[in-house]
Structure 1
C-alpha cells in the first residue's frame, strides 16, 4: 500500500489542528502572576515556580513561595490497566521474533498475533465493565465506563484493520468477514431477536421492535434468522409473505470454494435481483410497507437504506448490508465507494472520531488512520502496537514529499515514544526498555539515558538495572550508575554495581572510593560481597587489595593473628597498594608486632622496616617512631626464637 503525502507541510497542518484542541488550565489561587519559570523533571513532568525573589522573614507563607508540579495523566498506569501493558509486551516481543525470520511466509503468524492483541483488549474491556458494575462512587464509575468505551473503539478498529490488511482472505472477497465485523461490534436488536426466536410465538409482530429486528437481521446478512422471524408473523402463510420468504431463501451466496467463478456468480446474482425487482414492480406488496422495504433492500435501493439510517447510531451498522445487496463480490480495495455511500446516508454521529478512523481504513489511507488513532486518550498504546504490526506485515508504506520511504521512521518514533512513557513507571521500566531495544540505533542510546536517570532506591534495584543493561549491551549504564552510587556515598552499592558490570575501570573507581573512605574513618563496605567475590577481584589490583584487606580484618577479628599477619605482609610486599593507603597498612602491623606471642618472623619484620624506610615521607613523626620501636622489640624476640629453632 503506497501512502503518499507525508510531507512537512501536511504534518504542520495537522499539528496546527491539534493545537486548536489544546486545553487551557487556570493556575490556582492566582499564583505565579509574574516572575515565573519552568523546569522539566524526569518523564512527562515539569515544575512551575517563582523566579528568585527577595522574601522577608516576616512575609509568611504566600503564593509567591509555592511550587506547582504539572504532570501528564497516564491512563495506562491505573492498576486495572497494568495487565494490558504486561500482556501486550509479550505479544510485541513475539512479533519482533517472528519478523526476524525472513525466510518464510509469516502472514499466518502475524494474524495469530493480531488476534492475541485483540483478545487482550477484550479482556481489559470485561475487567473495566466488571469494575464499573461493582463501583459505588459515581465519578469513578463514569471514568471506568469511559475507559471501556475507549478500548471498545480500539478493538473495533483493530478488528477491521485485521480484516483489511493482516488476514489472508481467499480470493480477497471480504464480505463474510465484513458482516462478521458488523455483527460483532454493532449488535443491533440482537437481544430482541433472541427473545422472539426463543419464544416461537405466532403473532410476534405485536412486539414494538419486531419489524426493526427483522430489517436489522437482513442488513447484517443473517437471512435465516430473519426468515425464522417472518414465520412468527400471523400472516406468514399469505402469498405476499411467501414471496418475500422465497426471495430470501433463494438469495445466492458467493463462496470462493463453491465451484463457480465470480463472473458466473455475478450473472446469477443479477438474475435473482431482477426477480426481486419484478416482484416489487408488480405492486403486490404495496399494502405491506415493511415487506416492500425488505424487497427494496434486497435490490440494493439506496433510498431504502436512507429511510432506515435514522434508526441506527452510525452508518457502520449499514455497511455490511449495503455491500451485501449491491456488490457482494467486492474486494478489499473496492470498499471505499461503499464507505462513501453509507457515510452519505445522513446517519447520526456521521462526523465522530470513530467514523473518521474507519472511513480512512476503508479507503486504505493508513497514514490518516494512524494520525487519528494517535488522538485517542490511551497514551499511544494503540497507535504503537498497530503501526508495528502493519509495518512488519509489509502493509505500511509512508513516503514524504521527496518520495523517501519514511515508514520505519514512523514506526520507530511511535515505539520509542511509548517505550519512554512506560519507563516512567517505577515498576514497568523493564517493559519500556524492551520497546526501546527494538528500535536500534536510537533506542539503545535513549535507553542508556533513561536507565542512568532511574532512581536507585535499593541495591536490589541497582543489580536489576545492571542485569537489564547487560542483556541489551548497554555498557554505558554501568559507568553512569557506579558514579551515581559513589556520588551518593553508597560505596558498597558502587562495589556491587562494578562487580556485576565486570568493568575494570568501575572496579578500580569503587575500590579507591572504599579505601579512601576507610582512611577517613568509614568502615569497610560490602565485606560479605568482597569475601565471596572470587575471580572478580582479579579484574583490578586495587579491588584485589580491598578484598584481601577485608579478609585480613576478618582473620584479625577472629583472633587468627598468625594468618592475619601473613596476609598483611603479603599485601605490603606485593606493592599494589596506592600511596595514600601505605600509612594504614604499616600502622596495621603495630598491634600484631606488640602481641604477647610473636606473629611476625624476623624476616617479615625486616620487610616492614624496609618498607618504612622506602616510604619515609608517607609515615613520619611519632607514628614512625612507634613503629620502629615495635619492630625493634619484635626483632629482639624473634631473633632469639629463630636461634632456638635452628
Structure 2
C-alpha cells in the first residue's frame, strides 16, 4: 500500500510513481501489435498476444508466446528466511502484549520487543556480511552488499525511532541516547583511537589520523578518550594542552538522577561555556590551531562544525556533538532545529533517502517516515513491523485530508499486504497467515481466499493447511481442501482414502458420495476399505445416512469374522429394519442373512425371521430367482427351529 495519497496531491503521487516504475521491452515479434495481460496467483501476471479481430486464415506464421512476469521478492532469498521467521515470533509476542496492555501499561515490554526486532536485523546484517565475504561471484556479491545497505539503514532508522518514540526517557533528555546512536551507527575513528591507546606511545601525533581522531572523539562526546589521546602528544605538558584538558575535565554532564534540575544545569553549563569562550578570545590557543578548533567546537561555534563536517560521510556524524555543545538539555521535540542546522553544514546538495527519513524522524513526522520507508526495497518488512509497534505504543496518529484518524486502517493495510506477500511463498505461507489473522475480520476473509489457492503437492501439505485453517476457525478452507482430497482419491479409485477425506471435511454431501462409491464397489466384489477408520469415526458417522450405514455394516463384518454371530445377527436386523440401506444394496444385505440362518444354532429369533420375511416380500424386486428361493427356504427352516425352541421354553 502506498499512503502518499493521504498527504500528497494526485499529480505529485503519479509523477513520483512513474519515476520509480520499471519499463520492460517485450522481446518477441508476436507482441508488436496487440497484447493483453491477466493476473495469476500472487505477484505474477501473464502477458500474451491478443488480436482485436477474428481472422480465420492466419496471414503469418509467427509463433505466439506467453510471458510470465513476477516481482522479485527480496525476503524470499534463502539467507533472509531467518529474518522473516524470527521477526514473526516477535510480532506475535507483540500482539499478546498489546492485548494485555489494554488494562495496564506495558511500555517496558514494548521497548524489549523493539530491541528484539533490532537484534534480529543485526544478526541478519552479520549473516549477509559473512556470506558476502565468502562469495566469489561478483554479481551475487553486489546483491548481498546491496542487501546489507538496505538492512543497515533499517537498523539505523529503527534505533533512532526507538529512542524518540518507544523508550520512556527520564525527563525526555535525549542527548545520552542520541550520542549512543551516533557512536553505534557511525563509528568514525573508533578503531584508530583504540589502536593508539593500546600502543600508549608518546609522540602519537606522528600518526596521520591523530588529530582527526581526537576531534572525532570530541564530536562524538567521548571526552575521556579525547583526553587520553591528548596526553599521548609529545607536547602534552604545555599550557595549551593543560588548558584544553582542564576544560574537558570540568565539562558539566547532566543526569536526571544527579539531584540537579535542568534549570540549574543550564546555568552551570552556560557558565562553563563562558569560561571556554573567554579562553578562546584570549588567543591563548593561537599557537595550537588543532586545540583551538577543539575549543571552538566546545563553545558550539557553527563555523567550527562546518570545518570538520567534510571529514565525515554525513551530517549524522556531527549531530550528537552539535547538540552536546549547543543545547545538551535538548528534548526530543526540539531536535528538529539541530537537524536543520547540521544538515545545512553540507550546503546545497541532493539528500539521500536516509537523510529524508532521519530528518522526518527528528521532526516527529511519523506520517512522512512511514511514507518514505515504504519505498525501501525490503518488500514492506520494515514499514509493517515499525508501524505495528508504533501503533500499539500509542505514538502513531495518521489523519487523512478530511482529518479522519486512519491510523488503524494504515496499520492493518500494511500487515495485510505483507501477509499476502508471504502467503505466495511455498513454505512461508503459514507465517503470512499469522499476520492476516491479526487483522480481523478482513484479514481472515483474505486468508480464506488465499489459502484455497495454495497448490497442494502432497497429503502432508494438505494436512498442514487443514491444521492451520482449524487453528483460525476457517471451516470453509477445511471443507474445500478435504473436498479436493476426496475428489482426487475418488478419481483415482481410492475409495478408502476418499472416505477419510470426506470425514475430515465434515461435509454430508462428500460423505454420502464417498460412502455410496464404497458400497457400490462392494456390490461389485471389491473388499470393504478403511474398516478401522469407520470403527473409530465416532460422531462423523452421523453426518449422512449412507456413511452411518457403511459404518454399521463394517461393524457387522467385524463381529461376523470374530464369530460373534448373535451380536452380528442383532446388528444386521437393526440395519434391515432401519431402512437406511441404499436401494442397490438390499440384495447384498438380504443375502448376508443366509449364512447366519444356516448356522448350527439359531441366531435369529422368530420375530427377527418375520422381519426378514417382510423385508424380502416388500423388496422382492431386488432379490429374484434362485437366490430368493434359497433365502425363503432358509427362513422357513429357521422359523421351524425357533418355533421348536420357543415351544420347549414354554
- For the criterion TM > 0.5, the same-fold answer is yes
Contact 1:252–1:272 (8 Å) recurs in 2: yes
CA-CA distance at 1:380 after TM superposition? 0.8
Q: What is the Cα deviation at residue 8 of structure 1?
A: 6.6
Distance 1:594 1:86 in 2: 63
Is the aligned partner of 1:221 residue 2:225?
A: no
Deviation at 1:55, TM superposition (A): 10
CA distance in 1, matches of 2:57, 2:129: 55
RMSD of the TM alignment (CA)? 3.0
Distance 2:338 2:542 in 1: 74
Q: Assess if the C-alpha contact under 8 Å between 2:483 and 2:501 holds in 1.
A: no
What does 1:32-71 align with in structure 2 at a 5 Å threshold?
A: 32-51=31-50, 63-64=63-64, 66-71=65-70
Give the C-alpha shift of residue 461 in structure 1. Answer: 3.1
Find out whether 1:610 has 2:614 as its counterpart.
yes
Q: Residue in 2 aligned with 1:207? A: 207
Per-residue CA deviations over 1:409-458 (Å, capped at 9, x if unaligned) read 00010111111111222222222121111111211111221222223333
**In the alignment, which residue of structure 2 is the partner of 1:345?**
345
Mean Cα displacement is larger for which, 537-546 or 292-301? 537-546
Q: Among residues 508, 526, 545, which one is paired with 1:541 in the alignment?
A: 545
Contact 1:463/1:500 (8 A) holds in 2: no
Partner of 2:577: 573
What is the aligned partner in structure 1 of residue 135 from structure 2? 135
Cα distance between partner residues in 2 of 1:497 and 1:361: 54
Alpha-carbon distance in 2 for matches of 1:25, 1:552? 69
Compute the displacement of 1:142 (Å).
2.0
Looking at structure 2, the residues matched to 627 and 54 of structure 1 have their Cα atoms a distance apart, in angstroms, of 66
Contact 1:430 1:468 in 2 (8 A): yes
Gaps of 5+ in 1: none
TM-aligned CA distance change 1:36 to 1:605, over 3 Å: farther
Q: 1:600 to 1:67 in 2, by over 3 A?
A: farther
Match of 1:469 in 2: 469
Aligned to 1:248: 248
Task: Check conservation: 1:200, 1:232, Cα contact below 8 A.
Answer: yes
- The Cα shift of 1:627 comes to 4.2
Give TM-score scaled by structure 2 length: 0.89
Please say which of residues 239-248 and 563-572 is displaced more in the overlay.
563-572
Structure 1's 275 and 494: CA in aligned 2 closer, same or farther, altered over 3 A? farther
Q: Is the 8 A contact 1:5 1:399 kept in 2?
A: no
Deviation readout 1:209-260 (Å, 9 max, x if unpaired): 1111111111100011011111111111111111112111111111112222
* Partner deviation per Cα, 1:190-224 (whole Å, 9 max, x = no partner): 11111111001111111111111111111100011
Count of residues paired in the alignment: 630
Q: Paired residue for 2:369?
A: 369
Name the stretch that deviates more: 86-95 or 592-601.
592-601
Secondary structure of the residue that 1:242 maps to in structure 2? helix
For residues 335 and 14 of structure 1, what CA distance do their matches in structure 2 show?
A: 29
Cα deviations by residue, 1:336-377 (Å, 9 ceiling, x for unpaired): 011111111117985111111111100001011001111111
Residues 576 and 589 in structure 2, CA contact (< 8 A), matched pair in contact too: no
Higher relative contact order, structure no. (Cα contacts within 8 Å, ≥ 6 residues apart): 1
Deviates more, 1:405-414 or 1:33-42: 33-42
Which residue is 1:584 aligned to?
A: 585
Superposed displacement of residue 493, structure 1 = 5.9
Q: Cα–Cα, structure 1 residues 645 and 136, in superposed 2: closer, same or farther, change >3 Å?
A: farther
Q: Report the Cα distance in structure 2 between the residues aligned to 1:238 and 1:63, rounded to whole angstroms.
A: 87
* Inter-partner Cα distance in structure 2 for 1:536 and 1:216: 75
Following superposition of structure 1 onto structure 2, how do residues 280-291 of structure 1 map, counting pairs within 5 Å? 280-291=280-291
The residue correspondences of 1:366-445 to structure 2 (distance < 5 A) are 366-445=366-445
Structure 2 match to 1:99: 98
- Asked if the contact 1:422/1:429 (under 8 Å) is kept, the reply is yes
Name which of structure 1's ranges 71-80 and 467-476 shifts more when overlaid on structure 2: 467-476
Q: Residues of 1 paired with 2:57 and 2:628: CA distance?
A: 63
In structure 1, C-alpha distance between the alignment counterparts of 2:234 and 2:8, rounded to whole Å: 64
Task: Give the whole-Å Cα distance in 1 for the aligned partners of 2:190 and 2:57.
Answer: 72
Greater Cα shift, 568-577 or 254-263: 568-577
Indicate the SS of the match to 2:25. Answer: coil
Q: Distance in 2 between matches of 1:420 and 1:86?
A: 15
Once residues 567 and 15 of structure 1 are traced to their aligned partners in structure 2, the CA distance between those partners, rounded to angstroms, is 75
Question: Structure 2 CA distance, aligned partners of 1:253 and 1:600?
Answer: 102
User: Over residues 65-98 of structure 1, what are the superposed CA-to-partner deviations in whole Å (9 max), with x where a residue is unaligned?
Assistant: x322222212112222111122111111111111
Q: Which runs of 4+ in 1 moved over 6 A?
A: 52-57, 556-562
Q: Which residue of structure 2 aligns with residue 121 of structure 1?
A: 121
SS in 1 for 2:162: helix
Q: Distance in 1 between matches of 2:15 and 2:628?
A: 83
